[in-house]
C-alpha cells in the first residue's frame, strides 16, 4: 500500500490535541471521475479551524484529513481527461466535510473531482496558487449576482481577510468603486496593496456611521463578518442592489449551536425568498460551489493578467500545521496562511 505524510484530525478540540502528523498514511484512492494530485502546497481556511475546534457543531467522521485547497502536479488522471500527468493544477476539492479521510488536502496526495481542477496560470508558485481556490471562489460567487460591476459601488466587509481581499480585487478588476472595512493596521494594506478606494476602520467606532452620514448606497455588499454587520449593511443597499452573506456569525461569537445554525439558515432562506419575490433586498447566502468553471478559471485569468494578487501573511510547513491553525484561529489573518507540503 502506498503511503504519504498527512496531518490527520483525530478528534475535535485545540489544534495541539486534535491534529496529528502521520508519515505512513494511505494515499487516497481516486474514484473514476477523479484526478490524483501530488500536492506541493495547501492553505488554512477559516472553515478548517472552525471544524477542528468544534466551532461548528457538525458531526465529522474521524480520522479526518482537513483542508480543501491544493496546488500540485497531476499524478494520475482518468482516461480521456483534459488533464495529463505532470500538469500544474490547483483546486478546491469541496470534499473536506464529506467523508472521512478522503478529499482533504493536508497530505502529499489528494484525490479531487476532475471538474474542480484548473491549470495554474504561468509564473505562479504552488504556494500562491494553493491560497486562492476556496477564498477566491467564495468571493467570486458572492459578487457574481451583481456582475458586471463596472461603475458600481461595492462594499466588502473584512477586506484584509482571505475572501474579502479577493472580493476587493475582483471588484476593482471589473471597474467598481470599492469600500471596505478593516482594523487600523490594515487600512494601508487594503487601499495601497489591494486597491480599495476607501477603507473604514471598524475599531474607530460603528463602521456604518460614515457611509450613512454621507448617504452612500451600495450596489453590492459582501459580508464576510456577519452578526450585527448584516442589518446595518442592508440599510445601505441601493435599490436593486445585492447583499451576499457567507453565513459568518459575527466577530464575537466563539461557537455556534445547532439551533444557531438552523436559525441562520432559516433566516437566510427567508430573506432569499423575499428578495426573489421582490418583497425585500436581493439576498444571497453563498454556499460554495467548487467547480473550476464557477470562478476559478476566471480567477486564473485575472492572476495571469496580474490583476489578482495573493498576500501570504504567514507560511508554515505541513509539520507546523498546529501553529498554522493556532495563528488562523486568532481571526486576524492578513490575506492567507500558506502551507508548504513538499518541493516539486
Ligand X SMILES: NC(=O)c1ccc[n+]([C@@H]2O[C@H](COP(=O)([O-])OP(=O)(O)OC[C@H]3O[C@@H](n4cnc5c(N)ncnc54)[C@H](OP(=O)(O)O)[C@@H]3O)[C@@H](O)[C@H]2O)c1
Binding site for ligand X (CB under 6 A): 45-47, 50, 134-135, 138, 157-158, 160-164, 181-183, 186, 202, 224-225, 246-248, 251, 286-288, 331-334
DSSP 120: P
What number of residues does the chain have? 344
Alpha helices in 156-295, H assignment, sequence order: 162-173, 187-188, 209-213, 229-234, 258-276
Report whether 167 contacts 142 (CB < 8 A): yes
- 170/176 Cα distance (integer angstroms): 9
Q: Is 274 exposed, middle or buried (0-12, 13-18, 19+ CB in 10 A)?
A: middle
What are the Cα distances from residue 239, in Å, to 235, 265, 275, 278?
10, 24, 12, 11
Q: Which residue is nearest to ligand X (CB)?
A: 161
- 291/140 Cα distance (integer angstroms): 12
* Smallest separation (angstroms) from ligand X to the CB of 47: 5
Strands (E) across the chain are located at 3-9, 19-26, 34-44, 69-76, 88-92, 109-113, 117-119, 153-156, 177-182, 198-201, 218-223, 237-245, 282-285, 312-317, 336-340
Q: Which is nearer to ligand X, 73 or 147 (CB)?
A: 147
Q: Which is nearer to ligand X, 43 or 112 (CB)?
A: 43
Q: Which is nearer to ligand X, 179 or 186 (CB)?
A: 186
* Whether the bond into 264 is cis, omega within 30 of 0: no
Among 333, 344, 295, residue whose Cα is nearest residue 132: 295
Q: Which is nearer to ligand X, 78 or 227 (CB)?
A: 227
* Smallest separation (angstroms) from ligand X to the CB of 199: 9
* Smallest separation (angstroms) from ligand X to the CB of 201: 9
* Smallest separation (angstroms) from ligand X to the CB of 183: 3
- 303/139 Cα distance (integer angstroms): 14
Q: Which is nearer to ligand X, 115 or 201 (CB)?
A: 201
Q: Which is nearer to ligand X, 71 or 225 (CB)?
A: 225
* Smallest separation (angstroms) from ligand X to the CB of 247: 5
Cell of 63: 480520522
Q: Which is nearer to ligand X, 89 or 135 (CB)?
A: 135
* Smallest separation (angstroms) from ligand X to the CB of 209: 14
- 121/217 Cα distance (integer angstroms): 36
Q: Around Cβ 287, how many Cβ atoms within 10 Å?
A: 11
Q: Which is nearer to ligand X, 151 or 251 (CB)?
A: 251
* Smallest separation (angstroms) from ligand X to the CB of 190: 8
* Smallest separation (angstroms) from ligand X to the CB of 62: 20
Amino acid at each position: 500500500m502506498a503511503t504519504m505524510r498527512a496531518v490527520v484530525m483525530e478528534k475535535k478540540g485545540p489544534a495541539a490535541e486534535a491534529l496529528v502528523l502521520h508519515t505512513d498514511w494511505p494515499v487516497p484512492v481516486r474514484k473514476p471521475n477523479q484526478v490524483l494530485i501530488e500536492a506541493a502546497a495547501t492553505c488554512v481556511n477559516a472553515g478548517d479551524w472552525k471544524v477542528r475546534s468544534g466551532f461548528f457543531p457538525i458531526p465529522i467522521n474521524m480520522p479526518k484529513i482537513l483542508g480543501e485547497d491544493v496546488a500540485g502536479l497531476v499524478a494520475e488522471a482518468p482516461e480521456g481527461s483534459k488533464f495529463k500527468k505532470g500538469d500544474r493544477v490547483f483546486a478546491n476539492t469541496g470534499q473536506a466535510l464529506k467523508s472521512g479521510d478522503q478529499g482533504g488536502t493536508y497530505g502529499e496526495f489528494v484525490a479531487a473531482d476532475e471538474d474542480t481542477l484548473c491549470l495554474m496560470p504561468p509564473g505562479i508558485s504552488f504556494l500562491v496558487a494553493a491560497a486562492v481556490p476556496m477564498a477566491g471562489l467564495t468571493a467570486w460567487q458572492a459578487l457574481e449576482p451583481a456582475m458586471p460591476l463596472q461603475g458600481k459601488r461595492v462594499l466588502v466587509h473584512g477586506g484584509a481577510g482571505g475572501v474579502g481581499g479577493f472580493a476587493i480585487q475582483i471588484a476593482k478588476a471589473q471597474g467598481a468603486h470599492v469600500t471596505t472595512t478593516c482594523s487600523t493596521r490594515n487600512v494601508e494594506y487594503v487601499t495601497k496593496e489591494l486597491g480599495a478606494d476607501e477603507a473604514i476602520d471598524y475599531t474607530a467606532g460603528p463602521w456604518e456611521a460614515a457611509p450613512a452620514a454621507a448617504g452612500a448606497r451600495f450596489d453590492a455588499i459582501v459580508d464576510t463578518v456577519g452578526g450585527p454587520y448584516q442589518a446595518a449593511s442592508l440599510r445601505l443597499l441601493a435599490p436593486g442592489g445585492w447583499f451576499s452573506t457567507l453565513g459568518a456569525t459575527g466577530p464575537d461569537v466563539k461557537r455556534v449551536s445547532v439551533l444557531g445554525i438552523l436559525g441562520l439558515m432559516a433566516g437566510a432562506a427567508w430573506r432569499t425568498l423575499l428578495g426573489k419575490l421582490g418583497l425585500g433586498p436581493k439576498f444571497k447566502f453563498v454556499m460554495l460551489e467548487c467547480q473550476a468553471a464557477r470562478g476559478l478559471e476566471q480567477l486564473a485569468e485575472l492572476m495571469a493578467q496580474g490583476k489578482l494578487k495573493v498576500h501570504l501573511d504567514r507560511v508554515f510547513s505541513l509539520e507546523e500545521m498546529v501553529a498554522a491553525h493556532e495563528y488562523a484561529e486568532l481571526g486576524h489573518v492578513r490575506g492567507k496562511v500558506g502551507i508548504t507540503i513538499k518541493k516539486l
